[in-house]
Structure 1
């Protein structure tokens, strides 16, 4: 079966606002210029997500507007050392893990310098431009532009050495430490800051591609996001190589053959992925987190929003070890541990669903019955010191892994996927909270030892997850739920300790689903093509292809999935996840 139909750049097409989107600096400058009244005092505020290229903004937009006064908000920011001292407790000395920040952006600015900038604005006349992260702290703007940037693009700029963290000259610092500072501090603080700004912004500026910006009016943006909450949609997947990565995705998804491998695909992680909005000839890329922040209730549903706030709690991603190596042997923190040590609300419970598996593929899951926990920890410590290899055969269960198997992994369970597997990982979304216990003696792609967090891991391993318990509770617990003409539904998990429910539907004819007031996330795990439509014609029919993950917002209600196109005549299957009530 040919799977290169996988859409790597899914878009949401928006009708009726084509004249409210602009491409390129010239058109953007003209659109903004049209709002500036000649001869009158007008303050244009261009607030920015950290990482937006200020030099390009100055040269390509602000210079064209010929302002009487231009102020970069950075002039009022605290010094690098002051920021470091303020954030030391959140940054920690750890290379990977920090503590989630509850700071507000104004804490990162000097009150006297803000006041000085405000006086300059008050005393000036004509066109005044204030720009940069935190610009609206100086003036709310008679015209407000918000310049946004996707988190994946921020990470590429980190990796290239183009930029360090906001307020820090650390372009050459370890990439894991820069990512940590962004994840635990910058993105939290700036998401809090930008949410009320996006609600009233006159324009959103897409700055993801150098010298190729796009802009959309605030009205058009909100129309597009509201439309997204009433229809199926996909976020933009991104792919990344890794030391253990495989070759399956490279072939099936038509990826860059020059890359050594692809380890990960983040196919539905709204906190990290982008959303593409198409307005005629103009495509706007925004962080999909913007949709979560601005319209959480119709997207997530009342109960999910009440429980998680403006956070998308379900994550689908791919782990490819076909032609690759074992994942790191790891464990995720218990809920109380992640709350007390890192300030997160909930932990990373997860599961492995096997999209594909080579003969002999295995999943490592739980400890063997009767082992001595301290002996295993001592063995792991010896392995970390380089004295020996970890004796996994002595301490850890291995289960055969076959296509369409499902392994449940509540937090506290030691686990990893072995080589030769294509895993659809269905999990909660805390994202980076993996405590590596053993990494098979490997270096990372950067040539540095991969971090092992045995001290954290030793405190959260649930030693009751032994051979018998894991077999009885976590391996292939399929339960028939319902069936009809041309379809059947099976419960596949997750474990009772996990808040995500999963169901598999096999179908050769249309099958009707319902969100029941909560967001649904699905992946087409078997079959080449399917159609998602509304029995009430409430949204445009939506085509999905093999292995694509798609989101059904809570507000959609009833929807139907049918074999379609090249999938007609096949027996297809979806995996569906939602938050248990």
Structure 2
């Protein structure tokens, strides 16, 4: 069985730039590409398999027709989505619903996500959480546009990691590139968008009522228990283990041998280069390479000097 390598799906955004080309070497269709949907079965951007017996097929098709690849994890939709985001400008301040609200109002999963900071310009910031103590205070602060009082700002650097559960007010700031692991959902409620206009001179839609409905109040503590396991000169950092997904950093310095821990594993190279060895077959890895290790692959070896962010489905995925 071969790994499943993914063709990137690029999304143009008002806040996007060209770093996915200058830093990762992708050929971009425009100068305002904000997102690479690296591993996705979501209908708004479906990945296509690049190699092997399933070359040319889409990930959503494999999920429906070849459940054996995913350990027979029966479900209506592939549960995870991995993106690389290039924020040349500030993203809107937003919040995502949980499963119950999203399924009722949007007909899809809710959106819990997490961010690995691939790179950040000096002083770059994210908005992460809020100060309101009650839902009524939240609504009032939004109504009065008391943004500086409401939003918590955090300065970030390369290698930082953030957990962003549904209900968390958040925004990625200008000058930041991240690897995002999330539930397979495209539901976003905008709280604030800096009053900016699109190419037609229109402001983007805000979703104040929904935002107040779904925001967790008061903001929850998302302190993480991050651990590192050494494998010679290489290492595995465990960032997160939740009901939706488990997320790891694979630091490869020479070689790193790993065994399957879940029905399938997703991975993206965020820095460096190297090789993936599966059953004596070798695959080249460069920045931006994304792949799935399906259920039949029980162990593999990584070689080279590289950083990969990997994820697995959680118990509820």
Compute the TM-score of the two structures, normalised by the length of structure 2. Answer: 0.89
Please tell me whether the aligned partners of residues 371 and 395 of structure 1 are also in contact (alpha carbons under 8 angstroms). Answer: no
Provide the C-alpha distance between the structure 2 equivalents of 1:395 and 1:342, rounded to a whole number of angstroms: 27
How far apart, in 1, do the equivalents of 2:57 and 2:288 lie?
23
Distance 1:541 1:233 in 2: 13
Whether 1:349 and 2:93 are equivalent positions in the alignment is no
1:365 corresponds to 2:128: yes
Q: How much does 1:462 deviate?
A: 0.3
Q: Which has the larger radius of gyration?
A: 1
Task: Confirm or deny: 8 A CA contact 2:38 2:47 kept in the other structure.
Answer: no
Corresponding residue of 1:340: 104
Match status 1:327 vs 2:91? yes
In the other structure, the counterpart of 1:435 is 189
The answer to whether structure 1 residue 499 and structure 2 residue 244 are counterparts is yes
Structure 2 counterpart of 1:487: 234
- 1:270 aligns with one of 30, 37, 41: 41
In 1: Cα distance, 2:285 partner to 2:84 partner: 17
Structure 2: any 5+ residue segments left out of the alignment?
none
**1:517–1:557 CA contact under 8 A, matched in 2:** no
Instruction: Say which SS state the counterpart of residue 270 (structure 1) adopts.
Output: coil
Cα deviation, 1:365-411, whole Å, max 9, x if unaligned, reads 1112x6554343234345xxxxxxx4322111111111111110010
Q: Deviations over 1:345-375 (max 9, x none)?
A: x42110111111000111111112x655434
Query: Of Structure 1 and Structure 2, which has the larger fraction of its residues in helix?
Result: 1
Which secondary structure state, in structure 1, belongs to the residue aligned with residue 31 of structure 2? Answer: coil
Equivalent residues, number: 313
CA distance 1:514–1:458, change in 2 (3 Å): same
- Residue deviations 1:509-553, cap 9 Å, x none? 2212222341101112232x121112x43xx32211123221111
More strand, by proportion? 2
Q: How many angstroms does 1:276 deviate by? A: 4.8
- Please list every run of at least 4 consecutive aligned residues from structure 1 whose deviation after the TM superposition is greater than 6 angstroms: none
Instruction: State the secondary structure of the residue aligned to 1:559.
Output: strand
Give secondary structure in 1 for the equivalent of 2:17.
coil
User: Which aligned pairs between 1:494-573 and structure 2 lie closer than 5 A?
Assistant: 494=241, 496=242, 498-527=243-272, 529-534=273-278, 536-537=279-280, 540-563=281-304, 570=305, 572-573=306-307
Mark the runs of 5 or more structure 1 residues left unpaired by the alignment.
1-229, 383-389, 564-569
1:300 is the counterpart of 2:73: no
What is the distance in 1 between the residues matched to 2:49 and 2:168? 37
3-state SS of the aligned residue for 1:547?
coil
**Two-structure CA RMSD over aligned residues (Å):** 2.5
* CA distance in 2: counterparts of 1:236 and 1:453, whole angstroms: 33
TM-score scaled by length of structure 1 = 0.50
Structure number with the bigger relative contact order (C-alpha 8 A, sep ≥ 6) is: 2
Q: Quote the Cα distance in structure 2 between the aligned partners of 1:277 and 1:400.
A: 38
The structural deviation recorded for 1:492 is 0.8
